[in-house]
Amino acid sequence: MNTAVLPPVSELEPEVLQQIDDCVERWSDQEGNLIMILHEIQNHHGYVPRESSLLLAEKTGVPLARIYEVLTFYHYFRLVAQGKHHITVCNGTACYLKGSARLLGELESRLGIKEGETTEDRLFHLETVRCIGCCGMSPALVVDETTVGKVATTEVAGIIEKIRIQEDTHE
C-alpha cells in the first residue's frame, strides 16, 4: 500500500487525534483491547480510516500489519466511507427461503449498484448481513437503524423513494 499520499500522523485533524487518544486511554489497562478500540473508531466515523489505524499503531505499539490483519478478517469492519443511507438485506436462512434474493435483486436494479457498493451520489449503500435474528418477520430489511419486516418486492421502490423525498425536502 502507498503510504506517501497520507499525511504524517502529526498533521491529522485534532478531533481525530483526540478521539483515538481517548479510546486508547480508556482501554489501556484491558488485555486484548484492539478489537474493542476498532469498534469505537468505526462507531465514530462509520468506518475505520487509514489515518486512525496509523495513529493507533503508534499509540499502542501494535504493528500496522496486525491491525489490518484484524480489520480485513472481520466482516463488520469497513475500510472506506459508506453512503449516507444504509439498506441492509438480511440473508439469513429464513429470509432466504422467503425471497431475500428477490429483494436484493430489486434493490440492485432500482439503485443501479451491486451489494457492497455505494451509489454515485453517495446517498445509498447496499449490503447484506448474515442474520439479524428477526426470523419471525422474514424477509427483513434494515433501513438505516430501522428494521422493516415481511417486505414484499413491490414495496422496495417505495422504501427508496421515501428516502429520496426526505433528502429533497432537506435541501
Partner 1 sequence: MNRNFAQTWETLRHGITIAQEDTWIRVGMDSGGIAAGAGRLCERLVTEVAAAGRQIPVRRVGSYGYAFADPLVEVKSADSPPTLYGRVDDALAAAIVSEHFGRGRLLDGHIIGSRRRGTVINEPVTGILVKDTSLDDGDKTGFFKDSLAAELAEHGLADSVQTVGALDLGIYDEGLAVQLLPSGVTYTNVLSRDISRIVTESVKERTVLNHLLWAQPDPQERIVLRNCGIIDPECIDDALRHGSYEGFVRALTAQTPEQVIDTMKTSGLRGRGGAGFPTGLKWELTRQPVADRKFVICNADEGDPGAFMDRSVLEGDPHAVLEGLLLAAYAIGAAKGYFYIRAEYPLAVKRVQMAIDQARQRGLIGDNILGSGWDFEAAIRLGAGAFVCGEETALIASIEGRRGSPEPRPPYPSVQGLWGKPTSINNVETLAAVPWIVAKGGEAYARHGTEKSKGTKVFAVTGKVRHAQLVEVPMGTTVRQIIFGICGGVQDEVPIKGVQTGGPSGGIIPEPHLDTPITYENLSELGSIMGSGGMLVMNENDCMVDVAAFYLKFCVDESCGKCAPCRAGGYQMLQLLLKIAKGKGTPEDLALIRRICQAMQYASLCGLGQTAPNPVLSALRFFEHEFLAYIEGGMPYARKLKKAMAEGRNLKDVV
Nearer to partner 1, 16 or 143 (CB): 143
In the complex, least distance from residue 134 CB atom to partner 1, rounded to whole angstroms: 5
C-alpha cell of 52? 486512525
Nearer to partner 1, 57 or 123 (CB): 57
Does residue 139 have a cis peptide bond before it, meaning omega lies within 30 degrees of 0?
A: yes
The residues binding partner 1 (CB under 8 A) are 30-36, 38-39, 66, 69-70, 73-77, 91-94, 96-99, 102, 129-138, 140, 146-149
In the complex, least distance from residue 94 CB atom to partner 1, rounded to whole angstroms: 4
- Tally of CB atoms within 10 A around 163: 16
In the complex, least distance from residue 146 CB atom to partner 1, rounded to whole angstroms: 8
Residue 121: name the closest of 67, 80, 72, 85 by CA: 85
CA quadruple 106, 107, 113, 119: dihedral sign = positive
Nearer to partner 1, 48 or 54 (CB): 48
